[in-house]
Chain A
Amino acid sequence: MSIGTKRMLTGNKAMAEAIRQEMERDPNVFVMGEDVGVYGGIFGSTEGLFERFGPERVRDTPISETGFIGAAIGAAAEGMRPVVELMFVDFFGVCMDQIYNHMAKIHYMSGGSVKLPMVLMTAVGGGYNDAAQHSQTLYATFAHVPGLKVVAPSTPYDLKGMMISAIRDDNPVLFMFHKALQGLGWMDPLDAAIGPVPEEPYTVPLDKAKVVREGSDVTIVGIQMMTHAALAAAERLATDGVEAEVIDLRSLAPLDKTTILESVRKTHRLLVVDEDYLSYGMTAEVAAVVAEEALYDLDAPIRRLAVPDVPIPYSRPLEQFVLPNAGKVYEAAKQLVAR
């Protein structure tokens, strides 16, 4: 495909297009959630779907997450393929039983006889001063429980391809999309929130990390916004003569250990960056995998960069202090390669 023919979409339009194409392909696919109808989703994930499919298949719900996520589970068990939205991941507390005890466990407890082909999509992330109850990513909270596939794409291309894969998958998939990468008019405009997206349907696997920049001196593992922070840091490192390899994890569960280990065996240094809390999080999991399987390939101790175990604060200087960013990734990587 030549540059001239590339179609550019924002993250939200890429997601909405994926859902639209799957709804056209399969009458069992339907959407349910708060403000997914006329409004098109608070973060634009269902833009245009209501006009195309109407209120039966693009179903506004009451503020009733236990009720409608539970109903999605019941409908999925009957062969429907619901795409249900939890508006902010932070709201998980009011419906965690349905997610943790039912959506994640029914397939296993039934010995595989009950399938739940459903997608639970949810908005994650901070950086826009929405404070502690509307800014979390909570990646690890959901990746921790067995039985869920948990993905967090970072480009419009992957948002579309992974959403199509998620809808076609016969398992429950938690699809986390980052608010800042939706390309919404009322947030900081980011280059990363718009990108080339083919018009035709395509799939991207739900279990594969991606090397988004090759390098030989240090491996930086990130996901969603932290992938972009790592890429920006890598450009700056390159001017210092340091070639960083950047891995976009894309999927938290299952974790693509192979891609991480291959990279570490090449670069011999590892920095893991996360917009979630530090303790017991993704950075710890990736570090443990490398410590268990590639410890003697390392030339320096593993470094981790994440939210330092406090809730996300409101005030701009406070929030910017706790969130990792390109500058912090650069500094950490510089220190790591100097060891």
Chain B
Amino acid sequence: MAIPVEKLKWMYETMVKIRIYEETMVSVYAEGKTPVFNIGAGPVPGEMHLAAGQEPVAAGVCAHLRPDDTVTAPHRPHHHAIAKGVDLRRMTAEIFGKETGLGKGKGGHMHLFDPAVKFSCGGIIAAGVPHAVGAALAAKMQGKDAVAVAFIGEGAANAGAFHEALNLAALWKLPVVVVIEDNRYGISVPKEASTAVASNADRGSAYGIPAVFVKDNDVLATYEAAGEAVARARRGEGPSLVEIETYRYLGHFQGDPEVYRDKGEVPALRDRDPILRLRQHLLQQGLVSEADLADLEARARAAVEDAYQFARESAYPRPEAALEDLFEPAPADVQLAQ
């Protein structure tokens, strides 16, 4: 499949943007947390799960999605959010806990919601898969050709919600694609110590749906596999499962001592960095020039810098705003009744 040059450039720029975003977050998150690490200190408090290295999953899948397609993501959501087109300023402000954030500072980094591009994420493993199935059900009932994509980690494929949701999606032939990011570890436990099958794609047959395993953190292969799955869903032919081998350069969360993996593992992975590989591919194929790539990189960096600046300059919410946004007001006819 020949991938349109515009798509390739979009994926490159998106991956670069994600990488710069996450690497910037590494240093911003560390502010106020040295010499003694205190998770509640600094401009970005709380847990922080970063996705540097996992860019191909988000870019290769979201390249096929429209703003009216739904994405649900897990606790490590920045790459999916960026690739889905979530407002980067308001997302960053949310992570800083500012009133300009997507959730006015009530959600934080694991709970980002941008209904404008139908993006949500959450901190409970596998819980977003049923939500994606529901979004797909809504699209089908409303007669739309929108699809829903649930991103989960390979550890989540052992949770009940994943299996219940896949059964429902297959039973009702819903336009859902479940994308499993296999980054090898569920926090510290390697896949082979938690999962009875080598590839979660083997589990597709349990629900009678197509399933593929994409090797080696390859954005082009991911693009191709996801393209088939999304197109199938959009044609009304039902759900698919795509597992993508990817790599997590950083710890499960920032501050993770990473005692569970060899010190040489990440440097070896970085030698085969997926962004560099895409860069080389684009240049070798003569699809873009160095100057083109420099432009894309500059634009990505500018977007990230702008978002962080916006977040830093935004105000914190009034403390008593904690009491707001619990409920929508009741419709007038309900309030008026006896």
Contact = CB atoms under 8 A, between A and B. Distances in A.
A64 B165 CA distance: 8
B129 interface: yes
A115 B331 CA distance: 13
A135 interface: no
Given A67-B165, A102-B127, A111-B104, A75 B137 contact: yes
A76 B141 contact: no
B13 to A, nearest CB: 27
Interface string B45-68: 000000000000000000000000
A146 to B, nearest CB: 6
Interface in A51-96: 56-57, 61-62, 64, 66-80, 82
Given A68-B168, A146-B326, A147-B326, A106 B127 contact: no
Contacts of A205: 330, 334-335, 337-338
Given A64-B164, A102-B122, A114-B120, A76 B334 contact: no
- Counting chain B CB atoms within 10 Å of each CB, which of A57, A107, A161 scores highest? A107
A71 B165 contact: yes
Contact of A168 (B101, B102, B164, B333): B333
Given A70-B131, A73-B130, A203 B141 contact: no
Contact of B161 (A66, A203, A207): A66
Contacts of B167: 62, 64, 67
Contact of B107 (A72, A109, A147, A165): A109
A80 B141 contact: yes
B327 A149 contact: yes
B106 interface: yes
A295 B192 CA distance: 62
Contacts of A98: 127, 130, 161
A204 interface: yes
A112 interface: yes
A95 B166 CA distance: 16
Contacts of B132: 74
Which A-B residue pairs are the 9 nearest by beta carbons? A70-B130, A74-B134, A67-B164, A71-B134, A111-B104, A110-B113, A74-B131, A78-B138, A170-B328
Given A62-B164, A70-B165, 4 more contacts: A61-B168, A66-B160, A74-B133, A101-B124
13 contacts: A30-B141, A75-B141, A82-B134, A101-B127, A102-B131, A107-B325, A108-B326, A111-B325, A115-B328, A147-B326, A171-B327, A203-B333, A206-B334
Interface of B: 70, 72, 101-107, 111, 113-115, 118, 120, 122-124, 127, 129-139, 141-142, 148, 160-161, 164-165, 167-168, 171, 324-331, 333-335, 337-338
